[in-house]
Chains A and B, each alone.
Chain A
Amino acid sequence: MSAAVASLAPAAPLERSTRFAVVRRFGRRPPAVLGAALAFAVIVMAVFAQVLAPWAPAANDFSAILAPPLAPGHLLGTDELGRDVLSRIIWGARVSMQAGVLATLLAMVVAVPIGLASGYYRGVLDTVVMRLVDTLLAFPFLILAVGFAAIFGPSLQIATLAIGLVQIPKQVRIARGEVLSLREETFVQGAVADGASDAFILFRHILPNVANTLLVQATVLIPYAILGESTLSFLGLGVQPPTPSWGVMLTAAQAFLSQAPWLALVPGITILVTTMSFNLLGDGLRDTLDPRDAGR
């Protein structure tokens, strides 16, 4: 019996040759490659901020207050306190990536096991979980985030927590939906007949088969979390000044719109390019990894 089941099992996710095929397919999509390269650049910027930034993020150059871009020593100009915009953008990448990656991890780590169990066991557990998920979806992101900031005080950690938690219901739904169709597959039915434990089936057979969908979801979540962090910081509910964050920079820039428009343009374009790069990467991964799209 177990030999028969083993022959049915397609659970081994990606063989080496398949992996090469995936990389080749991905490489044939220029927007996806561009997205991956830009996203990588932002990650490098965040990790090596200390080395890459020409100035400390809070260092003031009082001889160059509101200096325009290309001013000596300040490639992207300075703000109203003479702080180097380029350096603050580089340090801001660290804040954005921290929020993006941690919020995504939080959402995935909590949502995936709940979604897997809910879809696999169905019954009362599924009904309760889905009812809760529907209720939590009724709270718009900013209402929840504002509530969190009110309870715990505004900070990057709380903003990250709020962004991650808000995503959980949606991710539970996605993971559950995947499991609902997988549990009817022959290789899962075979494993059940073979007497495999639920945990073994969930983690050995089902999880590897939903991994692609989850990876794509994670890539889509990162730009969403980056936008969320900058929005919350812009509203004063996230990172607090003087910590450099792209959202905080934009809040301060509002007072100098006609005088120093670059203060608003540079962080805005940085957020746009960053989120767009992760969106392109996510689109590319989905087209490459989603079996329904394969061979198109």
Chain B
Amino acid sequence: MTRYLLRRAGGSLIALVLASVIVFVGVRSLPGDPAVALSGEGRDPAVINAIRVKYGLDQPLPAQYLRWVTLAAVGDLGSSAKTGAPVGRIVLERIPVTVQLALMSLFAAMAIGIPLGVLSAVRRGHIPDYVGSGVALLGLSMPTFWLGIVLILVFAITLRWLPASGYVSPFTDPLESARRMLLPAIVLGSGFGAVLMRQVRSAMVESLQADYVRTARAKGLSEARVVGIHALRNSLITVVTIVGLELGALISGSVVTEQIFLIPGFGRLVLESISTRDYPLIQGVALFSAAGYILLNLLVDVLYSLLNPRIRVSRFSA
């Protein structure tokens, strides 16, 4: 187990280093000279030169990379070219907002996807199965940004039940915060819920045909216990896998969702950094999202192997 964890962590570390190289090279490929951009309106050659020396931009690229990655490793991602605030601080201020949105959307996805998946599997080939599969297909095919627009149109503009946009911290007013996050969470969770429904359905179909379920039925257990305790518990491991696979989609989705509902989270910061051409911020945001994805995936993998020893052994021997 320890060997597996070490191996997996080593792989993540390599991915992290490679990701940092990609981010560094990517940002260096952006048009324009960062020293000129930082020098302001005057474009004084002496000032530009001084900036080059100060930020090590006169050094060869590998030296620049080493300097940047060493500083990034201790949490120093530089300062925003526009506001002068530390990039690390800007990013960390936005992360909790997106985490709240992501957690609420995960909850929404599970609240819809799991029961629908179970129902479709139990009533396989009947009306509930067709309805469930139809809903999942809708969720997979619907553009999230359009769903957002439609929900705003129905619940904010027409019915006036919920606010169309804005953010309130849960620490200031938990109820209002949840109210404002409800529509964005449904929008962000819709695609994930659809994937989850499909996977839970197929895992349940398999579980319901397994020997241990037949034994449970033969023992005279009620159908609710057979489905709820025996079959579902073994199918739930699918949820962990899907969470791991869908993390990237969740980060991408947060960019769109936060843009539609004007939520000041990490996703919106991605777009803001690009529209203001704030290179240190772009670099920090890209590195943060890649690192976050790699680390969360590692966490999901470890959790997965803890839940299912068979996977651990087969992956280890592979």
Contact = CB atoms under 8 A, between A and B. Distances in A.
Contacts of A231: 143-145, 256
Instruction: State the 10 A-B residue pairs at the shortest beta-carbon distance, nearest first.
Output: A268-B146, A276-B141, A142-B252, A135-B18, A140-B248, A275-B141, A140-B251, A140-B252, A138-B290, A135-B15
Contacts of A280: 137
A110 interface: no
A235 B29 contact: no
B22 interface: yes
Contacts of B150: 264-265, 268
Contact of B149 (A136, A151, A257): A257
* Range of interface residues on B (Cβ < 8 Å): 35 or more
B282 A140 contact: no
A149 B274 contact: yes
B75 interface: no
Main secondary structure of the interface of A (DSSP, over half): helix
Contact of B286 (A143, A230, A257, A271): A143
Contacts, number: 123
Contact of B138 (A142, A235, A276): A276
Interface in A203-246: 223, 227, 230-231, 234-235, 237
Contacts of A142: 251-252, 255-256, 270
A279 B140 CA distance: 8
B251 A143 contact: yes
A131 B286 contact: no
A272 B26 contact: no
A139 B290 contact: yes
A247 B290 CA distance: 27
A254 B14 CA distance: 43
A134 B15 contact: yes
Interface in A265-296: 265, 267-268, 271-272, 275-276, 279-280
A223 B26 contact: no
B294 interface: yes
Interface of A: 131-132, 134-143, 146-147, 149-151, 223, 227, 230-231, 234-235, 237, 250, 253-254, 257-258, 261, 264-265, 267-268, 271-272, 275-276, 279-280
Main secondary structure of the interface of B (DSSP, over half): helix
Nearest to B29: A151
A260 to B, nearest CB: 11
Given A143-B252, A276-B141, A151 B289 contact: no
Contacts of B252: 140-143
A143 to B, nearest CB: 5
Given A131-B18, A143-B286, A276-B138, A150 B274 contact: yes
B277 interface: yes
Contacts of A136: 22
Given A146-B271, A151-B26, 16 more contacts: A136-B22, A139-B286, A139-B289, A141-B252, A143-B255, A143-B270, A151-B29, A234-B143, A235-B256, A250-B145, A253-B149, A258-B153, A264-B149, A268-B149, A275-B141, A279-B137
B26 A279 contact: no
Interface in B1-44: 11, 14-15, 18-19, 22, 26, 29-31
B153 A257 contact: yes
A79 to B, nearest CB: 15
A272 B143 contact: yes
9 contacts: A138-B15, A138-B290, A143-B251, A143-B289, A147-B26, A151-B31, A230-B145, A250-B143, A272-B142
B171 to A, nearest CB: 28
B306 interface: no
A201 B153 CA distance: 57
Given A138-B19, A279-B140, A150 B277 contact: yes
A235 to B, nearest CB: 6
Most central of B14, B140, B141, B153 by chain A CB within 10 Å: B141
B152 interface: yes
Contacts of A137: 248
A227 B149 contact: no
B146 A271 contact: yes
B293 A140 contact: yes
Contacts of A265: 150
B249 interface: yes
A212 B248 CA distance: 27
Contacts of A254: 149
A31 to B, nearest CB: 9
